[in-house]
């Protein structure tokens, strides 16, 4: 992560603080990783989201007052055949969001395996967050909220349930996973969530096979 300030030479404009950090999403296939990213970056939801091959890279800047937060987001594929590529994407990341589907207990167990791998191999300072996605399907829930919350507390993880479909907790959760100096920037997480997508000032996307 890097932070720098910019201002005009004559000092007529206040300094702009730029915070940049790398975020990676991990989890089993079809848990909604790409849908969460699409919701955060573009405020959209696609019921028929394409399966990610390898990984997809997205860049997003969020502008609030004198702070611009630049996200470098790696959305990794969930298929087992791409597992060996994962370290290439979480290496050097400041934050990782591990996603599971609250209607599929096996994806919760897989999320636990990802957490263990991150704790062993990722940066010791990485922020690890756990997202119980598809909260809009609560009537089909097979992973209890309390079970996931207890696991997260015992493991030292951030935890929220999310819904890419309804946008529930998506912006708040992404900002909560940011390093402390970004979260502390004038309550950036809460204000970004309140501001909504109108404050998202740039995005780009490319896929890697």
Per DSSP, which regions of 28-176 are E strands? 55-64, 67-76, 95-101, 127-133, 158-161
Q: 2 lies in a domain? A: no
Whether the CB-CB separation of 37 and 182 falls below 8 Å is answered with no
- Range scoring the smallest mean pLDDT among 7-16, 75-84, 177-186, 200-209: 200-209
- Res 206: pLDDT: 47
Provide the residue range defining the domain that includes 65.
16-208
The per-residue pLDDT for 2 is: 53
Q: What percent of the chain has pLDDT over 70?
A: 76
pLDDT digits (tens, 9 = 90+) for 33-91: 999 999 999 999 988 767 777 678 888 888 867 778 889 999 998 787 778 899 999 99
How confident is the model over 126-138, as a mean pLDDT? Answer: 97
Residue 43, domain member (yes or no):
yes
The pTM score is 0.81
Q: Identify the H or E element spanning 109.
A: helix 105-121
Q: What is the C-alpha to C-alpha distance for residues 188 and 4, in angstroms, rounded to an integer?
A: 17
Q: How many domains does the chain have?
A: 1
If DSSP codes are grouped into helix, strand and coil, which group holds residue 151? helix
Whether 172 is covered by a domain: the verdict is yes
The answer to the question of residue 101 being in a domain is yes
Q: Within its chain, how far is the Cα of 115 from the centroid?
A: 14
Report the pLDDT averaged over residues 116-141: 97
- The CATH number assigned to the domain holding 194 equals 3.40.50.300
| In-domain check, residue 129 | yes
User: pLDDT category, 4, cuts 50, 70, 90?
Assistant: low
Tell whether the model's pLDDT for residue 16 goes beyond 50: yes
179 vs 75, residue with greater confidence: 75
Question: Is 6 among the domain residues?
Answer: no
Q: Is the residue at 5 inside a domain?
A: no
């Amino acid at each position: 992560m890097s932070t720098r300030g910019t201002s005009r030479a004559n000092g007529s404009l206040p300094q702009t603080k730029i915070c940049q950090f790398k975020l990676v999403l991990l989890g089993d296939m079809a848990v909604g990783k790409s849908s969460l990213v699409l919701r955060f970056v573009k405020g959209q939801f696609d019921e028929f989201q394409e399966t990610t091959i390898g990984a997809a890279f997205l860049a997003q800047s969020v502008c609030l007052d004198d702070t611009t937060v630049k996200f470098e987001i790696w959305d990794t594929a969930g298929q087992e055949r791409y597992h060996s590529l994962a370290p290439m994407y979480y290496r050097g990341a400041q934050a990782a969001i591990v996603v599971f589907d609250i209607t599929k207990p096996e994806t919760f167990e897989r999320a636990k395996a990802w957490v263990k791998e991150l704790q062993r191999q990722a940066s010791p300072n990485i922020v690890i967050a756990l997202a119980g996605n598809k909260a809009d399907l609560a009537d089909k829930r097979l992973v209890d909220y309390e079970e996931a919350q207890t696991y997260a507390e015992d493991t030292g993880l951030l935890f929220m349930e999310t819904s890419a479909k309804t946008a529930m907790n998506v912006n708040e959760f992404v900002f909560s996973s940011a390093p402390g100096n970004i979260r502390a920037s004038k309550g950036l997480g809460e204000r970004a969530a309140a501001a909504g997508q109108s404050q998202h000032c740039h995005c780009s996307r490319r896929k890697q096979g």
